[in-house]
Chain A
């Protein structure tokens, strides 16, 4: 460093080696080009804007549809605190998706992705699902919890293929072609159970699960019952519980979840995932705490 150099004025008088002169010229040219480019580009944008406006007027003065419509998720919000789904997904590792085609009554593909991500995030080895429906969520849970993972899924009765109607949401025939996990490599890690969750003997599943998904009952009492069982299913009272049906179409589910959120300390972390029908809660209570049963 030249400590005797005091400022720009002195520098001008200094003799410039040819290299520095060349560099200086190059920099000056670059700077000139850069500002010229910027003004050209801006001028072009302005002219395009004007053209667009003229075109829109020619077209009948209708709304200028400049960009494709942004898909804004429905703005419904319940009393649960909500969080957006995209950070959950953007932080997710690779997901394995199967049975992608959705039928009426299915969770959306986005919801499937979120549920699988939540299970992965809980590092789930054992998963319990209330309500198999067509087995699509079951399959995707099994596909994403590792080769040692097990999914236990409880469906009300073996034979039912009813058409349930939930205010415009018609649940079509359930297993026209059997559960959708049948015949896939993940069938082996899925245990199909049958029974009514109100009377089912959960004995051997208690204190053994890392992730519980509740998508079965859309009745108030049913959701309360299944959720309380879910707490007892979690290994050492720790894990994640997720619900489907937190949406205006299922007002009884909404009421039940909000009641659980308000009254059960284990569910204090419950969140609605904005733009979906999902809610989830990470549960972690002290080992041996009697509230976890």
Chain B
């Protein structure tokens, strides 16, 4: 088989969580053609399968072949950091993006009104590096956000151990049977059915589409876009509704709806849900889907923001994802909201899923 296929198969296997397969494909792709990118991918999978020594060799090989491979530098940095070698990690990470900045500075010193051909080439090269540095920064920011979330989840789990009553009562919110929300005769239309591990399940996607369809919303707000799979399906289920979706900057943001026909109905908002100014959207939304930060306080905050978004004088729907043991912060926050917010007294958890929804009158 041709070498690009091995590489592609490896990436595909990795995305599907078949790491052993990924490793063998990527290994074969390297045998056929060594590139910095391939070494980086191979080493990444080694890292994911906890073979740090092999991973380190691979990342270093990638950097040897292309010292500007920013992704490999960042990965090696992350590896060294997790191996308790912060000094090495930091020096590795600090080099990333530096060459581009330095070159830019030297160019600025020589700036002229009408650049020569040679200068145009340099400028274009710098532009490319700048874009790479920017995308790297987006990746770093996303990494930061994921780590923060992991840390907060760990804290939520500690709290759950310390105060079991607060968060472990998954039974507090009444359960409704799946087929009561989604009877056999109900029909939902879905797109982008292939799922990755951070996506909602197929059953959950069906429910979300159903709840959205029942609401017949004019305006939909989603807190937490990720790759845009639910966004795309909300816009599909919502008919002509406008869809607003909020997320921090991250790689792969909203890729599922990019270039889809539904994209014209979707507005991507890029900000932190905790600091976002919801004012322009208040009292105008009929359907809110919340799947952003899973930390207790953020869930409370996002949920209260959601209530302010809802249109006054009509009945709207709010749906939450990840009401499961793995996210005690979500469980605790929703339990509290159920008890303390009169508007949310009608909250229901759909059996066999991690979805909670409420029909809310404002």
| A residues apposed to B, CB below 8 Å | 1-3, 5-8, 11-12, 14, 16-17, 19-21, 23-25, 27-28, 31-32, 34-35, 37-39, 41-46, 48-53, 55-56, 58-59, 65-73, 75, 84-87, 89-90, 92-101, 109-110, 113, 117, 139, 143, 180, 183-184, 274-275
Contacts and interface: CB of A to CB of B under 8 A. Distances in A.
B19 to A, nearest CB: 8
Contact of B154 (A59, A69, A75, A113): A59
A89 B199 CA distance: 14
Chain B interface, >50% SS class:
helix
Contacts of A95: 189-191, 193
Contacts of A75: 18
A110 to B, nearest CB: 6
A86 B185 contact: no
Given A44-B144, A95-B193, 8 more contacts: A5-B118, A11-B112, A32-B101, A51-B151, A92-B193, A96-B188, A113-B193, A275-B16
B130, B154, B158, B191, most chain A CB atoms within 10 A: B154
Interface residues of B, number: 78
A42 B157 contact: no
B35 to A, nearest CB: 24
Nearest to B351: A101
Contact of B202 (A19, A70, A109): A109
Contact of B117 (A1, A28, A46): A1
B193 A89 contact: yes
A119 B236 CA distance: 22
A94 B191 contact: yes
A78 to B, nearest CB: 16
B98, B110, B148, B189, most chain A CB atoms within 10 A: B110
B111 A21 contact: yes
Contacts, number: 215
B202 A143 contact: no
Interface stretch (B26-34, B176-184, B214-222, B303-311): B176-184
Contacts of B94: 39, 42
A24 B18 CA distance: 49
A90 B150 CA distance: 29
A247 B97 CA distance: 50
CB-based closest 6 A-B pairs: A86-B194, A24-B111, A5-B116, A89-B194, A48-B147, A99-B184
A41 B189 CA distance: 41
A67 B185 contact: no
A169 B245 CA distance: 42
A25 B86 CA distance: 34
Contacts of B282: none
A109 B188 CA distance: 13
A66 B143 CA distance: 12
B81 A12 contact: no
Contacts of B197: 67-68, 70-71
A110 B192 CA distance: 12
Nearest to B122: A8
A258 B307 CA distance: 57
A100 B116 contact: no
Contact of A90 (B111, B136, B192): B192
A143 B108 CA distance: 63
B134 A34 contact: yes
Contacts of A84: 12-13, 16
A11 B119 CA distance: 10
Nearest to A91: B194
Given A41-B144, A113-B193, A66 B185 contact: no
B141 interface: yes
A97 B206 CA distance: 8
A39 B93 contact: yes
